[in-house]
Amino acid sequence: MIPPKPTARPDKTTLRNYVKLFRKDILSAQPAKLYRAWMAEFRTPFFRSYLVNQPSLIKRVLNERPMDFPKSARIAEGLKPLLGEGSVFLTNGEAWKRQRRIIDPAFEGGRLRDTFEAMVASAQSAVARLEGPQGPIDVEPQTSHAAADVIFRTLFSIPIEHEIARDVFAQFQDHQREQPILNIAAFIPLPGWMPRFHRKRTKDTAKTIRALIRTLTDTRMAEIKAGTAPNDLATKIMTTADPETGQTFTADEMVDQVAIFFLAGHETSASALAWALWLIAANPEVQDKVAAEGLAFGNDPAFSDLSKLRYTKDVFRETLRLYPPVPMMVRETTCPERFRERDVPVGSQIVLSPWHVQRHERFWDDPDAFDPDRFKTDNGKQCLRDAFIPFSSGPRVCTGAGFAMVEGPLLLAMIVGAYKIKTVAGKTPVPVAHLTVRSGDGIWLELEKRDKA
């Protein structure tokens, strides 16, 4: 079974048509030759862009010289209404280093054990909610609900049913529908004084979300001062001082960080979970193995039981390979470079595409196939080192990568252990990229309560 993949555009197209396609869906805006190219150059009247697939060049950008390739300000243009100016996702240089020194300790290995109980509670709630719907359902809203629940329980010790958590989640659904992945300022460099042409609804929903988050952070700061704060991720982050300066996050900075935790931690997990459920439903032999691990894992597992989910973890990893939630990352050159005997000028956009690298025809055996067992092969092991970057790599690797690799298999095991799932005829999902890789018309499945006997 070859999972669905967007139709590529023709190799040659006009700049106007490319921009139009890019704003609609960055995946189908790309030509098929990128799945076998080492590098490709694209020129516009305003900047040059280089998509890089060669492993040695990716390592140069992400691992060897990351400070020479900061995150592109063009990508930040579309996200600033929600994330503000100071989110760790958008900052560079010394500001970014300081933020990571404060944030990283909250996500160290030992903290995963502390958040496990909250993840299990979220999974139990997700399993219970799925018992209600009858007939085919779109599971994307369900996985969004579950992933948001995980974020709120682990970050602020509140379930998604909490009034503010519920309102943030609802507002974010509206924001996601209104916000294109890129706006005009991503293509045309605009001076700082010019408006960014964000839609009114985009600005309104972002303002509401940030106000709600501010209420949560202000409340938590008061609890910390009173000595009544729970020992969760928010408390850990808000009380951790930068070891070099002794400073903690201000209230404004914390709003920016919580916004990206919610966007990255909820939206990316929701995307991966929905695609994983569809892939499991479309492959009955895979489903049988995941269900067996899910039943052994149980409905009230201990942290040590994660070792029982080895195959489910490979299923989740293979899903991240085929459908990386963040399909492309963009860096910018700060000094002249030379890539593959080609001069790359200062200010060029360097595009690193998990979507293309992880389906690259020169790297992977049978790259478009769904095969969770591939990671046991020599080719799969080599590709994990050289051509697998769903969480980025190097110093800017996603802070929550370890968190996600616990959350994803846990939720899959408990859902598939509780339900038999089937695909719906005529409802094959087609991936498109908005904020993350989603289906253009939902991911539809049929669920049947599993006989655990």
Q: What is the predicted pLDDT for the residue at 66?
A: 96
- Give me the CATH number covering residue 56: 1.10.630.10
Identity (one letter) of the amino acid at 213? I
4 found inside a domain: no
**Alpha-carbon dihedral of residues 325, 327, 332, 338, nearest 10 degrees?**
140
Q: Is residue 186 part of a domain?
A: yes
pLDDT at 182: 52
Task: Retrieve residue 306's tokens.
Answer: 């994660």
* Angstrom distances, CA of residue 150 to CA of 233, 262, 436: 12, 10, 18
The pLDDT, as a whole number, for residue 89 is 81
The reply to whether 86 falls in a domain is: yes
Answer whether residue 3 is part of any domain.
no
What average pLDDT does range 43-56 have in this prediction? 87
Q: Is 126 a member of any domain?
A: yes
Mean pLDDT of 421-435: 91
Q: What is the pLDDT of residue 184?
A: 47
- Is 396's pLDDT higher than 90? yes
Q: Is the pLDDT of residue 14 over 60?
A: yes
The answer to whether position 9 is within a domain reads no
Q: How far is CA 188 from CA 18, 73, 85, 209, 330, in A?
A: 14, 12, 20, 28, 16
Percent share of the chain, pLDDT over 70: 91
Highest mean pLDDT pick, 8-12, 404-408, 432-436: 404-408
For position 401, what pLDDT does the model report? 92
- Mean pLDDT, rounded, for 53-58: 97
In a domain, 10, yes or no: no
User: What's the mean pLDDT when you consider all of the chain?
Assistant: 89
On whether residue 1 sits in a domain, the answer given is no
Domain region containing 146: 15-449
Q: What is the pLDDT of residue 177?
A: 61
Task: Tell me how many domains the chain contains.
Answer: 1
Where residue 180 falls among pLDDT bands split at 50, 70, 90? Answer: low
Q: How many CB atoms lie within 10 A of CB 155?
A: 25
